[in-house]
Structures are given as structure tokens and as C-alpha cells.
Amino acid sequence: MHGSGFTVVELVVVLLLLGILSAVALPRFVAGDAFSAVVLTQHVREELAYARQLASSRQDTEARFRLSAVAAGFTLETLTLADGVLRDWSVPDGSLSVRIANGATTVPLSAGSVLELVFDGRGQLSAAVAGAVPLDPSLGVGVQIDGAALEQLCIYPTGATAGAPCV
């Protein structure tokens, strides 16, 4: 009798290989932390561009950008003193670490800390504070986001941003 199909040994080998493959490869596809630093960096860049444009178009008030570290991740806010909070985002990922660099000063952004950047009516960086540490906007402000990969962002005194460390 000649049957068509797979033997029990072949099926066990295939199931064993699938089990090993899923144990090794699946966590890499499911884990979101591989892209969390990139996502937070993109959100920061978008909100900085919005705050800068807002300050340029609304010359009667300054625009502010806030990056706040909370226990479950980070929140981003763009606001004006005249209008209050206009946009806010939450990026839930407590595994990221953020450091703020300004000249020789480096400030970790830990839970409860806030980075606040102020843009004047020309869209230029006019003031910056990380936690309780005042920063010198004329040096630019560096944001380092460390997760599965290190992402760096520089906010220049002109308000422009670049995906590189401030030098």
C-alpha cells in the first residue's frame, strides 16, 4: 500500500524547526522598542517644526515646545501663551532614555523632567530649559534618544533641526 503524505517524523521535524524559528525571530518582529527611538525623534522634529512655524506666523506671542518625561514614556506639547496647548502627543515607551546636551552641559530627562524650548516671532530659539537647568540657546540644543538605537537631533539657534549632534 503506497500512501501519499508526510510521515510522523517529517511532521515533527517541521514543527520543531517552526518552533525554533518563532522563538528566535518572532520577538524581533513583535517588539516595538526597535523603532521607539526613531518614532520619538520623528515626533520631536515634527513638533519643533510646528512650533517654529507657529512662532513665525503668530508674531504677537512666542511658541513653546515641551518634551516631558513621564513614567510610561514621553509627552510632547506645542503651545503659545495666548492660546494654551495647541497640540500634544504621547509616546508610550518607558525603555527609552533621553539626554539633553548644550555646550558642555548634559542633562538626563528623567521622569517628571521637562525640556522646554521657546521660539520668538522670527522662529528662532530664544530660550531653553531642561529640568531646572537653564540652557544657552546660542549653542543649540542637542537631544539624544537612546533605545535599541541612538538617535540624535540638534536644534540650532535659528530654530532649524538636523539629525546629528550639535557641534
81 secondary structure, DSSP code: T
Question: Which pLDDT does position 72 carry in this prediction?
Answer: 83
pLDDT at residue 32 greater than cutoff 60: no
Which of 110-119, 141-150, 151-160 shows the lowest per-residue confidence on average (mean pLDDT)?
141-150
Which of 31-35, 48-52, 140-144, 152-156 shows the lowest per-residue confidence on average (mean pLDDT)?
31-35
Helix (H, G, I), strand (E, B) or coil at 82: coil
Distances (CA, A) of 81 to 23, 69, 101: 52, 22, 26
As a whole number, mean pLDDT of residues 48-74 equals 90
pLDDT at residue 31 greater than cutoff 80: no
Alpha-carbon span 146 to 115, nearest angstrom: 16
Question: Which pLDDT does position 23 carry in this prediction?
Answer: 79
pLDDT digits over 84-140, tens only? 899 998 888 778 889 999 999 999 998 899 999 999 999 999 999 999 999 999 999
With bands split at pLDDT 50, 70 and 90, how would you rate the model's confidence at 2? low
Alpha-carbon span 165 to 10, nearest angstrom: 54
